[in-house]
Amino acid sequence: MITLAGAYTAIVTPFTNDGSSVAVDRLAEQVHFQAEGGVRGIVPCGTTGEAPTLEEREHIAVIKCAVQVGRPLGLQIIAGAGSNSTAHAIHLHQLAAKLGADAALQVAPYYNKPSQEGLYQHFMAIAESADLPIVLYNIPGRSAVTITPETIERLAKHPNIVAVKEATGSMDSASEIRKRCSIAILSGDDSLTASFAAVGAVGVVSVVSNIVPDRVASLCRAIANNDFTALRKSHDELFALSRGLLSLDVNPVPLKCAMEVLGRDSGSVRLPLVRASETIRATIALLLRDAHVPALAAHASC
């Protein structure tokens, strides 16, 4: 069974400038950049990858590229495969297994607002559908429902449910999960990774590592080494940038703007998301400067 710990990049899906198609060549470049930065793995087709806008053929192409390019470079691939339809989530989960992913990220069903029993049965049905490890994705801000620590404890008894991405923003939730079971906890918010580590989290599914994978990997090594001095230093250096990328506009709008500023153009975001405003762009440029993130090439406005 896979061990999940360390830095995992919630990788963007690069589109052409008009957003009409996936730029697979750019995605391959991003995967190489992540491997060179020393992260443990990547998470394609997640929130940062604008998964709700991907057609199935694009979803397949993104995961296939991530696996074919990333696996030989030593990266673990946690493929986004969630849905608010249990039948569709099972289909995507089996597809991720077929494409060679190491695990699947399964988000709490959004919009439906199921009960805790409904959540339990949803995830158990997925876990039974394929022999592929599952990372639960607990993000009430987007799904409008929280997977409670009690439900996570129940789910963790299934051998295929091995980790949870905690994007609740709640130290209490993370603490209660750790008290109840030994499931691997991954922070779902870059600005809270150090805090979650203090109560037992073993890594992060990171947004900011799209642009500074080496620094997020270093932060996670400090967690693994119980080096809280180094952890605090890394956290302080990245805190303002991490918070800005997730608060100035909806993810991944600020991130894609930052990548363009740095010469790592990932194309447009897709509707219903729109490009960052010039005011936000200026703020992002300052955050990048203050965090000492160097530009790699001349850039255009995002």
In a domain, 77, yes or no: yes
Predicted confidence (pLDDT) per residue in 212-227, tens digit: 999 999 999 999 999 9
Tell me the C-alpha distance between 155 and 120, whole Å.
7
In a domain, 302, yes or no: no
> Which CATH number goes with the domain that contains 118?
3.20.20.70
In a domain, 273, yes or no: no
Predicted confidence (pLDDT) per residue in 106-142, tens digit: 999 999 999 999 999 999 999 999 999 999 999 999 9
Structure tokens at 121: 């049965």
In a domain, 197, yes or no: yes
First to last CA, the chain: 42
The candidate with the shortest Cα–Cα distance to 208, out of 291, 94, 111, is: 291
In a domain, 205, yes or no: yes
Amino acid identity for residue 93 in this structure: H
Number of domains within the chain: 1
Q: What is the dihedral of CA 67, 53, 275, 41, to 10 degrees?
A: -20
* Contact yes or no for 7/204 (Cβ under 8 A): yes
* C-alpha of 233 from chain center: 23
In a domain, 99, yes or no: yes
| Parent domain of 141 | 6-227
In a domain, 124, yes or no: yes
Tell me the C-alpha distance between 7 and 120, whole Å.
27
Residue 299 has pLDDT above 90, yes or no: no
In a domain, 29, yes or no: yes
Structure tokens at 13: 């899906």
Place 181 in a pLDDT band, splitting at 50, 70 and 90: very high
Tell me the C-alpha distance between 59 and 95, whole Å.
10
Burial (CB < 10 A; 0-12, 13-18, 19+), residue 18, is exposed
Report the mean per-residue pLDDT for the chain.
96
Question: What is residue 1's predicted lDDT score, i.e. its pLDDT?
Answer: 75
Place 301 in a pLDDT band, splitting at 50, 70 and 90: very low
Q: Report pTM.
A: 0.96
Residues marked active site are found at 137, 165
Place 297 in a pLDDT band, splitting at 50, 70 and 90: very low
